[in-house]
Structure 1
Amino acid sequence: MKVITGRSNEKIKLAAALLASADKRKKTELFLLEGARLCLDAANSRVRIQTLFVTQKALSHFVNEVEVIAQSADEIYRIDDYLASKISDTKNSQGVFCICKMLDKKEDIYKMNYKGKYIALEELSNPLNLGFVCRSAEAFGVQGVIVSGGCDIYNPKAQRAAMGSLLRLPVIETDNLSTLLLNLANKGMKTFAAVVDPDAKDIKTVAFSGGVVCAVGNEGAGLKTETVNAVQGKIKISMKGKTQSLNANAAAAVIMWEMMR
């Protein structure tokens, strides 16, 4: 195991850039993971781990985890606590970091299960919401998540909130959700849009048999008009009291629960 002590080390600079910049992640096709559990999930999910960084404290506290992660890493470096703080996005870092190769998550409808259930997310701006939705999707048994615009799926906060689900769950990225929904409808799938509209159908009365895709929109603006116009049906979550809408994460969870019942 090599040791990095230099404050201006290029590998540390790369890790810091991947932590801070979606553009850097996209350009290099690399992303940074932090935490023993998440890095172990990457190793167990056969994610390509290019570089593993560990502190001396992590080597003592996470012996078994580091051993497994190291077997999948191309290179391993021990770093001190100061350098760890430069590539950490948490208050109490565990001292385990991985630079990983991005997964192939580009749009390919031919890899989808047309009889499966999918949740589509359009322009979500909060990476925590993205991560929580993916975690719920895996827990409910949803076949995959479609992501169109919004925050980067490799955002560190999204990855932590997903607790490894973004690494394990099929995630399809598309630049044009409305077109994808039309194509999936042509493949025989039912397509729905979750909207705040009194004329929409109550989700409890919808038959989610067969292949289904339901779209959820941005936390504030909702779905784009062209996306709503592209689906076969509009659905709503009826609520009591004076509440008019739910957080995108909560709405997606309710929809996925109803889809999988």
Structure 2
Amino acid sequence: MEKITSKSNTIIKDTNRLFTSSKARNENHLFALEGARLCFDVLNSVYEADTLLYTEDIYSRYPDEIDALAKKSDRVYVITNDVAQKLTQTKTAQGVFLTVKAKDEQKNFNCGKIIALDNVQDPANVGAIIRSAEALGIDGIVAYNCCDVFNPKTLRASMGSILRMSICVTDDLEQTLSQMKSSGFKVYSTVPSTQATKITDLDFGNDTVCVIGNEANGVEENIKAVSDDLITIPMLGRAESLNAGVAASITMWEMLR
């Protein structure tokens, strides 16, 4: 097994760019994972492993999982603890890193309960929404002009759910929603308005997509225009709005109950 001891090794530099640069992820059609939980989640996902890097310390703790991941990886390297600390995106490196092949195809949803994200920019919000979506049983996510879903902060916040959820990244949300409507979906946009329909009064159908808007500006006007209705979460307190992740979780709960 080849061992990498230099922090300036080309493979280490390339992997680090996948962690720090959305451009590098897009150009190489790869994204990077760190930590035992996220890396081992690839074993039970639809994604393919590219390059596995691990320390001897982590191997002593998880030999079976490392061996299984090594068999699925195109390239495998042992790295020193110093190299692992160079790569880590957290305070202390766990000692296992994996680059993963991104999927080029765009998913199209023909049925189910779907959440659409309109310009949601906070990686923690996007990751939390995807995690809640998987936990609650949402069938898929449509992401438009959001932060990179393979941003390390998003991946960590999702706790691996990104690897298991169906996600459609679109560059034209209005067109995507119009196509979904033509397939029988009802489209609802969430807004902080007492004039909108309360989500507690709405009977969500089987094929439904609910749009969650940008943290500061909400859902875009053109998206509201193609929606079947505007919906709101009734609030008794004095706060004018909710965090996007919280609003999405409440909306998904109502969609599925």
**What's the offset of the Cα at 1:54?**
0.3
Residue in 2 aligned with 1:223?
Answer: 219
The equivalent residue for 2:68 is: 68
Deviations 1:119-143 (A, max 9, x none): 0001111111111111110111110
Residue 30 of structure 2 is matched in structure 1 by 30
Please list the CA deviations of residues 197-255 of structure 1 after superposition, one character each: whole Å capped at 9, or x if unmatched.
Answer: 22100000011022000000111111111111111100000112111111100000000
Instruction: Name the CA distance, whole Å, in 1 between partners of 2:44 and 2:194.
Output: 46
Q: Quickly say closer, same or farther: Cα 1:224–1:210, change in 2 above 3 A.
A: same
What whole-Å deviation, never above 9, does each CA across 1:66-106 have from its counterpart, x for those lacking one? Answer: 12211211111111122112211111221110011102452
Partner of residue 244 from structure 2, selected from 245, 248, 251: 248
Instruction: Give the 5 Å matches for 1:146-225.
Output: 146-225=142-221
Task: Tell me which amino acid in the other structure corresponds to 1:126.
Answer: D
Aligned residue for 1:179, secondary structure, equals helix
Give the AA of the match of 2:95. G
RMSD: 1.1
Aligned to 1:4: 4
- Whether 1:140 aligns to 2:140 is no
Instruction: State the alpha-carbon separation in 2 of the partners of residues 67 and 46 from structure 1.
Output: 19
Q: Distance in 2 between matches of 1:153 and 1:193?
A: 21
Q: Secondary structure at the match of 2:239?
A: coil
Spell out structure 1 runs of 4+ moving beyond 3 A.
none
Question: What is the aligned residue count?
Answer: 257
Match of 2:20 in 1: 20
Bigger mean CA deviation after superposition, 32-41 or 96-105: 96-105
Measure how far apart 1:46 and its partner are.
3.8
| Aligned: 1:236 with 2:232 | yes
Percent of aligned pairs sharing the same letter: 39
SS in 1 for 2:74: strand
| Unaligned ranges ≥5, structure 2 | none
Q: Distance in 2 between matches of 1:139 and 1:95?
A: 28
Asked whether the equivalents of residues 36 and 66 of structure 1 are also in contact (C-alpha less than 8 Å), the reply is no
List gaps (5 residues or longer) in structure 1. none
Amino acid at match of 1:61: R
